[in-house]
Amino acid sequence: MTPPRNSRPKPRPGKRLLKHDRELGRFIGGCDEAGRGSLAGPLVAAAVVLDLDRLTGPEASALGSLDDSKKLSYDVRDKLYRVVLARARDISVAMVPASTIDRDGLHVSNIAAMRRCLRQLESPCERLLVDGFQLQPIELACGTMLDCDKIIKGDQKSASIAAAAIVAKVTRDRLMQRLDDETDFRWAYSDHMGYATPLHAERIQLHGTSHHHRMSYEAQAYIGAARAELPHPGSVTFHHLRASRALATA
């Protein structure tokens, strides 16, 4: 007996995303970023290469929850992060600290981070997919020169882009949690990850801004805020901001 239509299990989004990439080839690279709109902390870009021929059966099932990272809970993202690390053919991460964003501008910094993490890929790819941005052709570390395909809302369409978004988001969240610890939880980064929330604005007014804040942004929370004294660049905190692949495997 056929079960009622409304009782059938809902298709898992990861299956649809994997299907999209399979139609493009076997080795598909995706790139996405996290932290563009944040007031504090770095921008993090990630690139992931998937071997679609190997992602079958249980391997594919493990990525069944893969979707736009903003739709997923913290626990689901963390689980998928570990799955992606275990099953991806190659992963690369690039970070841009607040000081560089202030100097070069957000868009330039964003494009530079994406290009850097793509250039670091050591595995040959057939296609490179980028979420929302058109990049010039890139030569990978393995010597392959490839065009970059801009995919609008790519983390909702492509498995490789969604996987890269998970890596970027979780890497950045873990870094912000470390930064929270290193700054004695004054700005409560673990609660808002540096974004413009009422809690963050309250802490900025209470403790001031630091070199981890993007002062080139015209944020209401900055008005009247003092400047906090923190260790200068070169400290352990800044070292964490400049770290790249080490955080992806933490």
CA distances to 60, 80, 130, 175, 192 from 14, rounded to whole Å, are 8, 11, 18, 26, 27
95 contacts: CB under 8 Å, gap ≥ 6: 42, 43, 44, 45, 113, 175, 241, 242, 243, 244
pTM score: 0.87
> Which superfamily is assigned to 11-248 in CATH?
Ribonuclease H-like superfamily/Ribonuclease H (3.30.420.10)
- Angle, CA of 191, 246 and 53, to the nearest 5°: 100
Which stretch of DSSP H or E encloses residue 188? none
- Please report which residue ranges of 120-233 form alpha helices under DSSP H: 159-182, 189-192, 198-207
Distance (Å, whole) CA 241 – CA 233: 10
Give the chain's end-to-end CA distance (angstroms, integer). 49
Phi-psi region of 146 (alpha: psi -120 to 50; beta: other; left: phi over 0): beta
Q: Which residues contact 35 (CB under 8 A, 6 or more apart)?
A: 41, 42, 43, 44, 168, 172, 193, 194
pLDDT score at 238: 40
Of 126, 168, 166, 159, the residue nearest 144 (C-alpha): 126
Q: Which residue is listed with tokens 């970070």?
A: 95
Distance, CA of 15 to CA of 28 (rounded, Å): 15
- What are 8-15's contacts with CB under 8 Å, separation 24+? 12/64, 12/65, 13/64, 13/65, 13/66, 13/67, 14/60, 14/63, 14/64, 14/65, 14/66, 14/67, 14/159, 14/162, 15/60, 15/64
Q: Break the chain into its structural domains and give their ranges.
A: 11-248
pLDDT tens sequence for the chain (250 residues)? 555 555 555 668 888 999 999 999 999 999 999 999 999 999 999 999 999 999 888 877 888 888 778 888 889 899 999 999 999 999 999 999 999 999 999 999 999 999 999 999 999 999 999 999 999 999 999 999 999 999 999 999 999 999 999 999 999 999 999 999 999 999 999 999 999 999 999 999 999 999 999 999 999 999 999 999 876 654 444 433 333 344 444 4
Distance CA 129, CA 28 (A): 8
Backbone angles phi, psi at 234, to 5 degrees: 110, -10
User: By C-alpha distance, which of 218, 166, 133 is closest to 13?
Assistant: 166
